[in-house]
């Protein structure tokens, strides 16, 4: 026996016919035809209004078609998108409103539909975010409270040279202070860039970095390096994230993703051309690109130079009278109680102070910072983590 085929129109006619015969209640009829009472009364009402024609399926298209976007506005949107190919609809809208305050622009969702229709946008793959929040480090309350510094992952330019940009940004305003390719990750290559930035913008209170070179070292006290010692002499706090936790410097890492998309894919033909790109992009990032975390305003509208100027000469540090002052030799050792005590080669030529603590141990200090706790013998040297004098609260660890 062949299958019995029915269409929706036939089912509606049969349902209405059964209703008109009034042979059973509406509830029973609706259950038999697999529809709700609301749907049953809808089709019965349409039949009474329009007859059998009313049982035909109707279009679900809106009765009023929304007005399209003006061609001039479309041209402005696409032109801006062409100049900034990584900008999304909200950044495009914010920039257009700033540049043309007297014009009317569609919503960001409409701009997104326009970009997809024109084939200049594709859905971004959603990233999985770790539910673990970053630890409390130095949270900036104003510009220059905390800067962030790191190296963008290296890549090669068209001529085969290695390009590894150093980037420095202000944590409060997101203002990008440095984006400069260095030939080598070393104190000699990095220190002049920081010095030039300090001269131009003043000194921050802290600089947040990872634990890699040249910011930190795995040997010696408190992970000191020549660069971090120089920071301490300028009274800048080396604010290091936890190992393996780049999310604690998430604002800076997010900027690196934008940098890679805008100026490194594809890279320039030469290293000199790549630096020209980096300089132009830094200007655009600060002055033109709206930032969602800043209410779609540009970082330049939030940043101002630090009131702490870069000192041309560092004053000699005077330790209190109760401190035993020692000069660190070139190999990182000092002499204490007729024995040699290793601190760090990063401190070569510097003076440190050793003061008696209330618990009977000794505090090893560099300027206003505690580096370690020293027991009765030189072998009993325990790192306490870098802290301002009198504030070392972490559990001491033995330094070998």
Beta-carbon contacts of 16 under 8 Å, excluding residues fewer than 6 positions away, are 43, 44, 47, 55
Mean pLDDT, range 316-337, rounded to an integer: 91
What is the mean predicted confidence (pLDDT) over 210-230?
88
* CATH number of the structural domain spanning residue 281: 3.30.420.10
Does a structural domain hold residue 156?
Answer: yes
Q: Is residue 1 part of a domain?
A: no
Q: 233 and 173, same structural domain?
A: yes
**Is residue 75 located within the same domain as residue 49?**
no
Cα→Cα distances 367→46, 232, 354, Å:
89, 8, 11
Are 277 and 232 contained in the same domain? yes
Q: Band the pLDDT of 131: cuts 50, 70, 90.
A: very low
Residue 154 forms part of a structural domain: yes
Please, which residues have CB within 8 angstroms of residue 173's CB and are 6 or more apart in sequence?
A: 143, 294, 299, 302, 303
**In a domain? residue 318:** no
Residues 233, 332, single domain; the answer is no
Tell me the pLDDT band of 393, cut-offs 50, 70 and 90: very low
Contacts of 27 (CB under 8 A, 6+ apart): 37
The answer to whether residue 379 is domain-embedded is: yes
How would residue 225 be classed by pLDDT, with cut points 50, 70 and 90?
very high
Domain count, the chain: 4
Q: What percent of the chain has pLDDT over 90?
A: 35
What pLDDT does 375 receive?
A: 80
| pLDDT exceeds 60 at position 2 | no
Domain that holds residue 32: 8-55
Tens digits of residue pLDDT in 102-126: 888 899 888 888 888 888 876 666 5
Instruction: Extract the tokens encoding 2.
Output: 């062949």
**Domain match, 97 and 207 both:** no
> In this predicted structure, which of 71-75, 131-135, 150-154, 250-254 has the lowest mean pLDDT?
131-135
More confident residue, 76 or 133: 76
Same domain, 173 and 260: yes
In the structure, what pLDDT confidence band is assigned to residue 63 with cuts at 50, 70 and 90? low
Task: Report helix angle 187-201 to 226-233, nearest 10.
Answer: 20
Tell me the CATH number at 101: 1.10.10
Do 271 and 388 belong together in one domain? no
Q: Are residues 214 and 252 in the same domain?
A: yes
What pLDDT digit, counting tens, does each position of 359-387 carry?
A: 888 889 998 888 888 887 655 677 656 76
In whole numbers, what is the pLDDT of the chain averaged over residues?
84
Greater confidence (359 vs 134) lies with 359
């Amino acid at each position: 026996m062949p299958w019995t085929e029915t269409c929706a129109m036939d089912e509606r006619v049969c349902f209405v016919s059964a209703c008109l015969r009034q042979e059973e209640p509406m509830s029973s009829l609706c259950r038999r035809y697999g529809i709700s009472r609301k749907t049953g009364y809808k089709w019965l009402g349409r039949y009474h209004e329009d007859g059998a024609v009313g049982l035909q399926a109707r279009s679900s298209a809106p009765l009023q078609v929304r007005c399209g976007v003006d061609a001039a506005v479309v041209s402005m949107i696409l032109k801006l998108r062409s100049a900034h190919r990584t900008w999304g609809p909200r950044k495009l809208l914010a920039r257009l409103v700033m540049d043309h305050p007297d014009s009317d622009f569609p919503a960001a969702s409409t701009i997104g539909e326009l970009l997809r229709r024109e084939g200049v946008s594709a859905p971004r793959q959603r990233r999985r975010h770790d539910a673990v929040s970053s630890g409390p480090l130095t949270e900036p309350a104003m510009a220059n409270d905390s800067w962030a510094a790191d190296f963008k992952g290296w890549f090669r330019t068209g001529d085969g040279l290695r390009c590894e940009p150093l980037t420095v940004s202000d944590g409060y305003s997101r203002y990008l202070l440095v984006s400069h390719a260095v030939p080598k990750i070393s104190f000699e290559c990095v220190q002049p860039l920081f010095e030039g930035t300090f001269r131009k913008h003043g000194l921050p209170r802290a600089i947040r970095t990872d634990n890699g070179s040249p910011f930190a070292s795995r040997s010696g006290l408190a992970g000191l390096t020549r660069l971090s010692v120089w920071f301490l002499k300028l009274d800048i706090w080396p604010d290091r994230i936890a190992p393996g936790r780049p999310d604690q410097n998430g604002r800076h890492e997010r900027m690196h993703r934008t940098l890679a998309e805008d100026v490194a894919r594809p890279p320039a033909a030469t290293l000199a051309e790549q630096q020209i790109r980096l300089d132009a992009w830094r200007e655009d990032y600060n002055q033109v690109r709206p930032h969602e975390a800043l209410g779609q305003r540009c970082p330049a509208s939030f940043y101002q130079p630090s009131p702490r100027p870069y000192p041309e000469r560092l004053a000699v540090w005077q330790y209190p009278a109760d401190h035993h002052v020692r000069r660190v030799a070139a190999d990182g050792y000092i002499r204490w109680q007729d024995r040699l005590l290793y601190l760090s080669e990063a401190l070569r030529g510097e003076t440190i102070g050793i003061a008696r603590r209330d618990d009977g141990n000794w505090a090893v200090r560099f300027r206003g910072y505690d580096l370690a706790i020293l027991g009765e013998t030189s072998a009993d040297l325990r790192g306490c983590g870098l802290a301002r004098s009198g504030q070392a609260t972490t559990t001491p660890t033995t330094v070998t």
